[in-house]
Chain A
Amino acid sequence: MDAMIQLIHVSKWYDRRPALSDVMLEIEKGEFVLLMGPSGSGKSTILRMLIGEEQPDEGQLFVQGKNVTKLKRSEIPYLRRKVGSVFQDFRLLPKKSVFDNVALPLIVQGVSEKDIRRKVTEALRAVGVEHKRDQSPSSLSTGEQQRACIARAIVNGPVVLLADEPTGNLDPELTGEIIELFKLINARGTTVVVATHNHHVMHQVNCRVISLMQGVVLPERAMPERVGV
């Protein structure tokens, strides 16, 4: 299998405190991976590095064969267009409708009006909030807001979907629904990496789990079956 994400001897320090220590990691194309660990273990640091928001102090990162550490500043937006991001706090623009929020990545890329309408409708349908397209995010429930955020992340067909604590603000029932959504997205061929400290998530998905503790990758748990829908 092809490696979609590779971290080679990656280290990062914040004020001389190690956030990541010599991390070696490889995630295959089409894999569903859980990055587990308590707060401060380095999960979010890895995700931020994968979209070029931060640079490692040592080591190299590759996304779809491209060395992220060697990218010019002007090339980073193009990397982010291939990597969808889902956040714990949703990060939806409050003054725009759900449709406009989801359309944003396509507008940024200069996609035609017709394609925007088609792709946004498809994405909203896939996450189950098509009926809320004209409403403002503040009128949506937290679960719906997270669905809208996921729709925005997948609307331009990214090769990787990164989710940083996507269920942090959701109750167990909604957590289950969101994880099911990630499974569906993964089933369509997108590599999904979910960073979470919530152990319930681990029980809801049968996938590879990478555990982090104080910036160090722990030996992987044996969960050989890949998610398949």
Chain B
Amino acid sequence: MRRLFYLVREAWANMRTNRMTTIVAILTTAFTLTCVGIFLLIYVNLQHAAGWLQEDVKIMVYLEDRLSRDGRLQLELMLKSDRMVGSVLYISKEQALTEFRTQFPADSHLLEGLGENPLPASFVVTLAQSFRSPEAIKEWVEQVQTMGGVAKVDYNQQWISLLAELIGYIELAALGVGILLSAAAVTIIGNTIRLALFARREEIEILRSIGATGTFIRVPYFLEGAALGACGSALSLGILKVGFELFRQQVQFISRFSEMEGLISFFPLSACLALVLAGTALGFTGSVVSLLRVGEGRV
């Protein structure tokens, strides 16, 4: 018990003795992890948005004007009996016009001069939960497009594909930046530990002379590295949270994006804990690398 207490106390003493380097190490680690965190936050939110869009995918099946009422009913029946279809909503030409006027009141005069209602009747189709993959949607759309009475089939898959592509790029960037900045964090913490080792080299000599094992000598430095990493990552989460809240406030102010507010979210608690653990692991790795480099790892 006293041995454990001694090791923890030594780690704490190390940090207090080299207070300035400890603070600098925590701040720089926090800064590098914040950079990684920004990418992760964007990535997580885009993933969330992509999932939401995928869930909300609506397929517009526009009907030919010459399609009879019986033909339309027959087509509706066919769609409803399709196992891939979750729901079908019919929108008549008149309903489409009303909706257009409601949604775009300033532009409704454009249709006045045309005389006849140019908007087509349509079915709004939502596919069943298990058939919402991009491939399944594409296959279904191609099949419906060949049906008689169908003028055009439209859906927001382009947006989904674009978003998926963007997520892919951000994933790559996050990975690249993550690896680079993690290496930087390891180096920073490693150098802090090296300074601590240098400052306490006489003490290490004394410990060796009285029969301390290599592990006993190294453990306080491992603990110090892990503590620096944990503090750095916790601070980076704090910075990210403040930044995120400021961003959310801005979104609230701009009425055009006010709907976005409900879509963006911060890391869940489990992810926060995972990030602190990752920071701890980086700090630990920094001290291991440092101790091996100065030969203490082979005491």
Contacts and interface: CB of A to CB of B under 8 A. Distances in A.
A110 B6 CA distance: 10
Nearest to A100: B6
B211 A105 contact: yes
Contact of A109 (B1, B13, B211): B211
A53 B216 CA distance: 18
B15 to A, nearest CB: 14
A39 B207 CA distance: 26
Contacts of A73: 298-299
B213 interface: yes
Contacts of A81: 210-211
Given A73-B298, A91-B206, A108-B216, A116 B211 contact: no
B214 interface: yes
Interface in A109-167: 109-110, 112-113, 116, 152
Contact of A51 (B2, B206, B209): B209
A132 B273 CA distance: 47
Contacts of B208: 77, 80
A109 B212 CA distance: 8
Interface in B223-255: none
Contacts of B83: none
A146 to B, nearest CB: 15
Interface residues of A, number: 24
B298 A108 contact: no
Interface string A4-18: 000000000000000
B2 A107 contact: yes
A93 interface: yes
Contact of A91 (B2, B6, B209, B212): B209
Given A74-B213, A74-B214, A108-B216, A113 B207 contact: no
B69 interface: no
B206 A116 contact: no
Contacts of B209: 51, 53, 80, 85, 87, 91
Given A73-B298, A91-B206, A95-B13, A108 B2 contact: no
| Interface SS of chain B | helix
A80 B211 contact: yes
A104 interface: yes
B206 A108 contact: no
B210 A110 contact: no
Contacts of B99: none
A212 B13 CA distance: 43
B210 A104 contact: yes
A52 to B, nearest CB: 10
B109 interface: no
A16 B298 CA distance: 27
B3 interface: yes
Contacts of A51: 209
A113 B299 CA distance: 27
Interface of B: 1-3, 6, 13, 202-203, 205-214, 216, 298-299
Given A91-B202, A107-B6, 10 more contacts: A77-B208, A77-B211, A78-B211, A81-B210, A85-B210, A91-B206, A91-B209, A108-B207, A108-B211, A108-B216
21 contacts: A51-B209, A73-B298, A73-B299, A74-B213, A77-B208, A77-B213, A77-B214, A80-B208, A80-B209, A80-B210, A91-B202, A91-B205, A93-B203, A93-B206, A104-B207, A104-B210, A107-B2, A108-B3, A108-B213, A108-B216, A112-B2
Interface of A: 51, 53, 73-74, 77-81, 85, 87, 91, 93, 95, 104-105, 107-110, 112-113, 116, 152
